[in-house]
Chains A and B, each alone.
Chain A
Amino acid sequence: MELVTPQLGLIFWQLVFFGILLFLLAKLAWKPILSSLSEREHQIQSALDLAEKTRADMAKLQADNQQLLAEARAERDSILKAAKESADRIIAESKDKATVEGKRIIEDARETISNERAALVAQMKKEVVTISLEIAEKVLRKELSDKSAQEQLVADLAKEARLN
């Protein structure tokens, strides 16, 4: 029975000491402990959030880089393609121009050659006439050195002339 009979004195001291303990611990221990715990938890959470955000940023940056790289590659390809095209075009154009020019030069040459030949032929004709005239003059001079030959010729010419 003694065990289950609460004593007044112990109740009193228990109330006093537990009350003071509760007050002191709440003020001096639990308050700073709980506030620094929640502060630390807050810090850890924000650090984790920041890490997550940084990771996302990094991924985004990497994706951007990848895209930029792909774009650069595409641009390079297109530039190369354009360059090749223009080179091809220039070559083709030059070829065409060269062909035309060559033809024109050949044409010119041919013309010049034919002109030269014509002039040469004309020159030769003149030469031949001159030489022929000289020869004829010399022959005539020799033929008509005597009187009878002269008369003969005149007669011949006259005869011919009559016939006409």
Chain B
Amino acid sequence: MKHISIRLFVLFLFLAAIVSPQVMAEEPHKHGEKEKFNAGEMIMHHVADGHEWHFATIGHTHISIPLPVIIYDESKGFKVFSSSHFYHSEDGTYEGYKLEHEHITALDGSHVKDFSITKNVASLILSFVLLLTIFLTVAKSYKERTGKSPKGLQSVLEPIIIFIRDEVAKSNIGEKHYRRFTPYLLTLFFFIWINNLLGLLPGGANLTGNIAVTMTLAVITFIVVNFNGKSTYWTHIFAMPGVPKWMLIILTPVEIVGLFMKPFSLMVRLFANITAGHIILLSFLSMIFIFESLAVSPAVAIFSTFINLIELLVAALQAYIFTVLTASYIGAAVEEHHH
């Protein structure tokens, strides 16, 4: 266990070193004597994605890791450079591209697609490495300790894996089909959970609170559900049995809307819960600066600790809810006719 965490830490440092040769100590952007603190701006900056990984600002010094910018310009093709070029230039432009509010545009007006390794993508890669390391280690200990009782990381994760398999997959999908979908549900659960937890770390990215990520996950679930839809499932959507024919004129559109509402609700639920958690936490911390008083800090410390604990619960809960709803949608899709 100790070895793994050390290895991970080294790996993280290594990644950080690849991404940027040095941790930049940037020059302050603005030279106002005392800027007015804007809580909304600060919160949005923390919750939204960025082209550099910003950890802290001490005085007027930003401690951040610049990340690679990858853009596809329709006229010039792919371009790759460090985001530090944007942050270092006076007007936020580099080689004819401009970074404004974390949005890249071409100065010549041509269309630009942004495939940059942003803060969220970097966090995604980190979680990818973390998840692979954790579960390949666990899988290895299953191979090495065949016929023995679980130990260490294996015994921590085994009850969760069994819970997802039995209480989420088997009980929602049914004995006949659950084995096919268990790997997807396990990956989904641990991906969301680990990323929720990473997002709670100081300086962590808000990956699972990003609508692009939750949308992608919801769309994958939508595809998995509908590509496995049996005849019973489609009959219930387009020709609900036991309902007068004329009623179908109303019922079928409702069912079709429901078809898309399910992934839409998955997308919004995860996004809103995680982002809201971050916003609440940041709002509490902002109170110190809004009141400009040290006196509120004990109350803020108590409340933010409390919220943080709740967020730990929400991290697991939202991962569970996303997974269990996915399982129940799959269950409805593969259900056999039994009236």
Contact = CB atoms under 8 A, between A and B. Distances in A.
Contact of B183 (A7, A20, A25): A25
A30 B143 contact: no
A18 B48 CA distance: 20
Interface stretch (A33-41, A108-116, A155-163): A33-41
A24 B220 CA distance: 17
Given A3-B48, A36-B146, A37-B162, A30 B121 contact: no
A25 B128 CA distance: 10
A30 B187 contact: yes
Interface stretch (A9-17, A66-74, A144-152): A9-17
Contacts of B125: 17
B143 A36 contact: yes
Interface residues of B, number: 48
B93 to A, nearest CB: 20
A6 B191 contact: no
Contacts of A21: 128, 131-132, 187, 191
A32 B147 contact: no
A3 B187 contact: no
B135 interface: yes
Contacts, number: 114
A28 B139 contact: yes
Given A9-B116, A10-B213, A32-B143, A2 B101 contact: yes
Given A2-B48, A21-B132, A25-B131, A10 B187 contact: no
A14 B212 contact: yes
B82 to A, nearest CB: 16
A37 B183 CA distance: 14
A58 interface: no
Contact of B147 (A20, A29, A33, A43): A43
A18 B191 contact: yes
A34 B132 contact: no
B138 interface: yes
Bin chain A's interface residue count: 20 to 34
A29 B162 contact: no
B165 A10 contact: no
Nearest to A21: B128
Q: Which residue, of B115, B142, B146, B220, has the highest number of chain A Cβ atoms within 10 A?
A: B142
A13 B118 CA distance: 10
B161 A14 contact: no
A136 interface: no
A138 interface: no
A28 B147 CA distance: 19
Interface in B91-124: 101, 113-118, 120-121, 124
B317 interface: no
Contacts of A20: 128
A164 interface: no
Nearest to A41: B162
A10 B132 contact: no
Nearest to A5: B211
A139 interface: no
B44 interface: yes
A6 B138 contact: no
Given A15-B216, A17-B125, A32-B143, A10 B183 contact: no
Contact of B165 (A5, A26, A32, A34): A34
- For the complex of A and B, the 9 pairs showing the least CB-CB separation, nearest first, are A6-B212, A29-B135, A26-B183, A10-B212, A30-B183, A14-B216, A36-B142, A29-B139, A9-B115
Interface of A: 2-15, 17-18, 20-22, 24-26, 28-34, 36-37, 39-40, 43
23 contacts: A2-B101, A4-B271, A8-B113, A10-B121, A17-B124, A18-B187, A21-B187, A22-B183, A24-B132, A25-B187, A29-B138, A29-B139, A30-B135, A30-B183, A30-B186, A31-B183, A32-B143, A33-B142, A33-B161, A34-B179, A36-B146, A37-B142, A37-B158
Given A14-B213, A34-B182, A37-B142, 16 more contacts: A3-B211, A10-B121, A10-B212, A11-B212, A13-B117, A14-B212, A15-B216, A18-B191, A18-B220, A20-B128, A21-B132, A22-B184, A32-B139, A32-B143, A33-B142, A36-B143
